[in-house]
Copies of this chain bind each other. A is one copy, B any other.
């Protein structure tokens, strides 16, 4: 049993240091506004982290709370306010498709979460810039981006291989196929060369780098595989099941696997998983917040 437990705090340090220096050297103070329109304690906690991290790195953070039926107007107000550089919303607000509507109400130029359709579409199509002159980089949804950074940090990405192929040969299982994290993450990893099994309650899809449209897009195939088929094949297992009772069956995990949990609940049994995994990342929230700030900072470049 020699599992290395890697904490998000440590992973985020270098990103936060970099940001701090950039902000200092530019002599600006970017302003991020967070909207809290639910009673979810996890959201309030996430807001607290954001405030704390922003204070450390020199970002002005303002939390605005409102009733959910007022949120749309409040977002539009912030869109129009030139003193606001970035906007984020603590989801879920309505918990249904109305949340996706709100994600598109946030102005593209102020969206630090990367949830606007334009960013999501560009990410799926491996389009890296907003403009043809390639001056404005696309924002990548911040939790998937954070997970990529975690995977780089723990050595899943192979620096010997060319950019865009650094996951060649890796098999990854992702247990979550939400539009916010699981599906975009599967696409990102497939675009970087991995074979990805994307698991949700309806079944397992395989994502792999495809020829697709303009040779840019990943391909998806439906499979009849089950979790017990794909877990033993996987070098990396990433989970985000929003339930306190769900646990990944540790006995199916391959010896020496990398196990990463992005749910606010512990999807791995901490003791059991350490007997199988080589690397275990129990939470990633702090890396996500660092990515938010990074996206905000990208936004102030223009």
Interface residues of A (CB under 8 A from B): 69, 72-73, 76, 96-98, 100-101, 104-105, 117, 120-121, 124, 178-179, 183, 205, 212-213, 217, 219-222
Contact = CB atoms under 8 A, between A and B. Distances in A.
Given A73-B212, A76-B213, A212-B73, A179 B221 contact: no
B117 A104 contact: yes
Given A69-B219, A73-B212, 9 more contacts: A69-B222, A73-B213, A76-B213, A97-B97, A97-B100, A98-B179, A101-B117, A101-B121, A104-B104
A166 to B, nearest CB: 25
Interface of A is mostly: helix
A124 B73 CA distance: 11
A96 B179 contact: yes
Contacts of A121: 101, 104-105
Nearest to A118: B104
| Across the A-B interface, the 8 shortest Cβ-Cβ residue pairs | A97-B179, A104-B117, A69-B220, A100-B100, A73-B213, A97-B100, A98-B179, A76-B213
28 contacts: A69-B205, A69-B219, A69-B220, A69-B221, A69-B222, A72-B124, A73-B212, A73-B213, A73-B217, A76-B213, A96-B179, A97-B97, A97-B100, A97-B178, A97-B179, A98-B179, A98-B183, A100-B100, A100-B179, A101-B117, A101-B120, A101-B121, A101-B179, A104-B104, A104-B117, A104-B121, A105-B121, A117-B117
Contacts of A101: 117, 120-121, 179
Contacts of A98: 179, 183
Contacts of A212: 73
Nearest to A178: B97
A98 B187 CA distance: 13
A301 B186 CA distance: 41
Contacts of A220: 69
